[in-house]
Amino acid sequence: MANNFDKEALTYHSSEKPGKVDVRSSKKCDTEYELSLAYSPGVAAPCKEIFKNPSKVYDYTTKGNLVAVITNGTAVLGLGDIGPLASKPVMEGKGVLFKKFANIDVFDIELNTSSTEEFIQAVKALEPTFGGINLEDIKAPDCFIIEERLKEEMGIPVFHDDQHGTAIISAAALINACQISKKKLKNVKVVFNGAGAAAIACAKLFMKIGVLKKHITMCDSRGVIHSERQEGMNEYKKQFALKTKDRTLTQALKGADVFCGLSVAGALTPTMLKGMAKNPIVFAMANPDPEILPSAAIKVRPDVIMATGRSDFPNQVNNVLGFPSIFRGALDVQATHINEEMKMAAARALAELARQDVPDSVSEAYDNKSFTFGPDYIIPKPFDDRVLTTVAPAVAKAAMETKVARKPIKNLELYKEELEAAQSFRQGFIRANINRIKSFSKKHRKPVPTLVFPEGNSSKILKALNTISHEEVMKPILLGKEETIRKTIETLDLENLANVDILEPTQFEKYNDYVDKFYQMRHRKGVMLAEAERLMKDPYYFASMLVNEGGADGLISGAVQNYADCVRPILEIIGPDKWKVAAGLIIILFEDKLYFLADTTLNIDPSAQDLATIALSASRVAKYYNIEPKVAMLSFSNFTAHNSSSLKMKTAAELVKTISPNLIVDGEMQADTAINPSIVERIFPFCEIKDGANILVFPDLNSGNIGYKLIQQLSECEVMGPFLTGINKPANVMQRTCGVQDVINTIVLTAVECQAYAERLKRPKKNGRKK
């Protein structure tokens, strides 16, 4: 097994481009002019500005987002002193984690020296280049000396992760373990096994969060570090020399509350564990094998609360929960140091996060395992996006409060939202629209939209509503049997939905009125009164009627039922009016661009008139998001229409211009022409779309559906939708394969649509139609 894993690891590191990191330009350099800006002569301008004002280096260079990961390879993981060259894969890996979890750029630097003074001088000389220094895998006691000197002599953050990262994560775990076991930090007796850099840092931080020094016993390979001992001591161990009769780990652990292992596999025996206090807390953090395996610990002490350094056991003390977010907060306020207050803030933020409800997106990253605060979940998971948005603001705040921030952040809530937006294009887009909904509601003094969910017992729907409830962007109505839905909410432990509105269609006071209304709508299309009554019991039909009659502002379905069956009631009841054509709209998000694609779900072979109305509806959606619509009618030809398909697209473009003369629209054109401004500039200067289209209208359903799915699979983009356009009131149908996050996205964007619809109703009519 180990050999196979080693082979896979070697292939991972050597395949394609060797190593794990590369350097990419953040600016375009594709033309002679761009080259002159990137280098000579343009580069002289920022040089002169920085020379006049050194703080401008943060405005014109990467310094503010650049960290050096530096080692001499003297204490690498469990490998020991393997030297700087062999340590490089580890340092590259650290760079990957910085980038992945906090979008921080890294250069790994391996120094070929065992001299602490040479190491210190080399790192000091790098200060102009970097915004922070992450020291890594340096043996003790050299690591203490190096870090202390560099912190004193440099004006940027210096952080030895092997010490402080482990200390911060284990401190967070200790806070929560004590809360679960109902122990007070000031009363717990803590025994450390291992007295290296990480253990000493942990002990110091434990004291900062409330553990008393007199209650800390530290052991190393020679036994208890006590006040009478002389052998194997150094100034760092002496800080924890205790006046005690205990001489062995076994003796020290009798009646102890906490074991903190940073030593070797098997150091904690079942017999030792038996002698510990009630509800013992065991942090067995030796890697790759812990001081005691969880299975062995639970066998002798079922009441144990345990953490290890491994991902295959609950409660992994993983430094990636700390250093990326800590540096993110420190860099963003241009901190001069990472001090004890910032470390404590990080620990407390992590502890608090673990006590919150865990989003479904986190469970999905871990094979859909469920996480709830308790003995098996005392610290967050690394792939929880909230770690960054929780820890970085806490660190930044502590930096500002302790006066080590050179660039204070005025609005921490806004900063948190910016961090969220930076994690993905989708999160940024959704966050902006959440803020928009709240702002609109506050500005117009109106309640947030009411949305009805016909699939009221769907776990995806319920989890999404529970997650987004604190944002207060809409009021939900769930359809279904109240007893059944309440039971599901209780089973899923969705506390935020305790008071959610639940409606059983046949019990609704206007149910009979809805039956009559539907009968009047459809009796000339084959629907008899009995059939109308039967259909109105269907939650999908009832939800559509509720929206149509003003009982809700919008509806969302599709999490359980197939797309066609969800769309049908919407079209029959809410429906498009005679001026519109219902269509499916997909939103494609790239890092710096957003596209709307239509029609991708409904119309198999739309006419030119249909395509024109689809384009107008898509343009209206673009305006919801304050985006100037630029519509391209796509085809296989560029402005040379000569058959029915291309002529259809050309005619559609002309119809749109007739109906809406101020709208930017052109076609027929090929897809590359539509989105690449250089093609238009060089070959088709007469084209009205100058900077690339953002609304792409396809000639038929085949091309639209195939097109968006190819984009989704072949590019680094995020896809949202489909959304229904062209219908009289807001209603959206998701794909049955949607996840909880997809539901959340749809909720937010439907709420935006509801507010836009309400605003549109206020506008005066023109020629019998709304503007």
> Active-site residue numbers?
39, 94
**Residue 456, φ and ψ in degrees, nearest 5:** -65, -20
- For residue 598, the cross-strand partners are 585, 697
Interatomic CA distance for residues 740 and 461, integer angstroms: 7
Strand order in the sheet with 718-725: 664-669, 630-634, 695-697, 594-598, 583-589, 718-725
Residue 585 corresponds to which tokens in the numbers above? 């709209």
Residues 6+ apart with CB under 8 A from 223: 247, 248, 249
**Residue 187 to residue 204: CA distance in whole angstroms:** 16
98: enclosing H helix or E strand: helix 83-102
Q: Are strands 731-733 and 718-725 parallel, antiparallel or unpaired?
A: unpaired
Provide DSSP, 707-757.
HHHHHHHHSS-EEEEEEEESSSS-EEE--TT--HHHHHHHHHHHHHHHHHH
Largest CA distance in the chain: 100
3-state secondary structure of 126: coil
Are the CB atoms for 626 and 643 separated by under 8 Å? Answer: no
CA 133 to chain CA centroid, Å, is 25
Helix (H, G, I), strand (E, B) or coil at 501: strand
Pairwise CA distance, residues 210 & 201, whole Å: 15
- Element housing 486 (H / E): helix 482-491
Helix axes 197-208, 161-181, angle to 10 degrees: 50
H-state helical runs in 103-221: 116-124, 142-153, 161-181, 197-208
Beta strands in 275-401 (DSSP E): 281-284, 305-308
DSSP string, 256-291: -SEEEE-S-TT-S-HHHHHTSPSS-EEEE--SSS-S
Who contacts 195 (Cβ-Cβ below 8 Å, separation ≥6)? 218, 219, 220, 225, 236, 237, 240
SS3 605: coil
3-class SS letters over 54-70: HHHHHHHCCHHHEEEEE
**Cα 638-613-603 angle, rounded to 5 deg:** 85
* Closest-CA residue to 284 (of 301, 297, 271): 297
DSSP letter for 86, please: H
- Do 650 and 667 form a contact (C-beta atoms < 8 A)? yes
- Which DSSP letter does residue 231 get? T
Q: Which residues contact 560 (CB under 8 A, 6 or more apart)?
A: 455, 458, 736
Find how far residue 266's CA is from the centre of its chain. 37
Strand-by-strand arrangement of the 475-479 sheet = 501-503, 475-479, 450-453, 554-557, 731-733
Question: Which DSSP string corresponds to 648-696?
Answer: HHHHHHHHHHHH-TTSEEEEEE-HHHHH-HHHHHHH-TT-S--S--SEE
Q: How far apart are CA 35 and CA 733, in angstroms?
A: 48
**Residue the block writes with tokens 């269907």:** 538
